[in-house]
Structure 1
Amino acid sequence: MSSKTKIVVFHMKEIIYTAIFAALGILLILLLLFMFLPGHTKGKQTSKDYKPGIYTASMTLNNTPLEVEVSVDKNHINSIRFANLDESVETMYPLVQPAMEEIAGQIIKSQSTDKIKAGEDDSYTSNLILDTIQKALKKAEAD
């Protein structure tokens, strides 16, 4: 009887490289499937319908009235700024303008007032500004 025994020699380095490349290939395929399959909603933005125009809302800081002006078109928030901010108010409240710029930038980028991060140093001012912006946007919403 003749036995036909075959001896196969594997090098451990080749097995490890093959396993690593197979795992990377599977990971790449899963990543591509996750990114390109329908139903992936992370990057989608829901836009509201607005009546185009410029809308204002008032806020008061220590008996000083300030007007927040929000400019919108049909589907986008275009700009947010103070309408009547003078030097005396900026001097008395130095955090007002930087807080407005930070909040306006976040809102214009996301086109929503949800999940806006207020600064730690000016959380009261930021929340007051955000509430005023929401009032102006509520005026702008289409029925």
Structure 2
Amino acid sequence: MSSRTKIVVLHMKEIIYTAVFAALAVLLIVLLMFMFLPKNKEARTNEEKYMPGVYTSTVTLNNTALEVEVTVDEAHINSIRFSNLDETVATMFPLIQPAIEDIAEQVYDHQSLENIQYSEDNPYTSQVIINAIEEALKKAETTK
């Protein structure tokens, strides 16, 4: 019985290419992990800051109760409106509807009540509306 010796010839060029492609594959995997995995637990919980639903708070103007209705999902403020604004109140306070529309647009853009610009025509009405929205959002916040 004779044993046959097998000789394997490796070219240095092939070894270098294999090492480079393996290093690039590992780098790609690490990069994808950093891109798609959340940074920490706080990043996951920041996405869920509201309990989805419709929340209301009351604003009283001239013995008339107006309800500010705020609709939220887990992470966004979706809608802000008066739920029972009738014609008599709109006639008595003509600037209240444009004020809530302006505030709602700013809140949709920022998704927060920070840095809201008040209208020069009705700063006090705007402040009352923002306080009502803030009260409704406190009801909507999840406890952690």
Structure-2-length-normalised TM-score? 0.66
How many correspondences in the alignment? 98
Match of 2:142 in 1: 142
Structure of larger gyration radius? 2
CA distance in 2, matches of 1:96, 1:128: 10
**Which residue is equivalent to 2:5?**
none
Structure 2, unmatched stretches of 5+, are 1-45
Amino acid at match of 1:50: Y
* Cα distance in 2 between the residues matched to 1:82 and 1:103: 12
DSSP-derived class of the 1:49 partner: coil
Secondary structure, aligned partner of 1:54: strand
Residue matched to 2:55: 55
Q: 8 Å contact 1:47–1:111 — kept in the other structure?
A: no
1:72 paired residue number? 72
Distance 1:129 1:47 in 2: 26
Distance in 1 (alpha carbons) for counterparts of 2:109 and 2:77: 9
**Contact 2:47/2:74 (CA < 8 Å) preserved in 1?**
no
- The sequence identity of aligned pairs, in percent, is 57
TM-superposed deviation, 1:62: 1.5
- 1:82 is aligned to 82
Q: CA RMSD in A?
A: 1.1
Would you identify which runs of 4 or more consecutive aligned residues in structure 1 move more than 4 Å? none
Q: 46-55 or 68-77, which moves further after superposition?
A: 46-55
- In structure 2, the CA distance between the partners of 1:126 and 1:47, relative to structure 1 (3 Å rule), is farther
Q: What's 2:128 paired with?
A: 128
Tell me what 1:95 maps to: 95
Offset, 1:47: 5.8
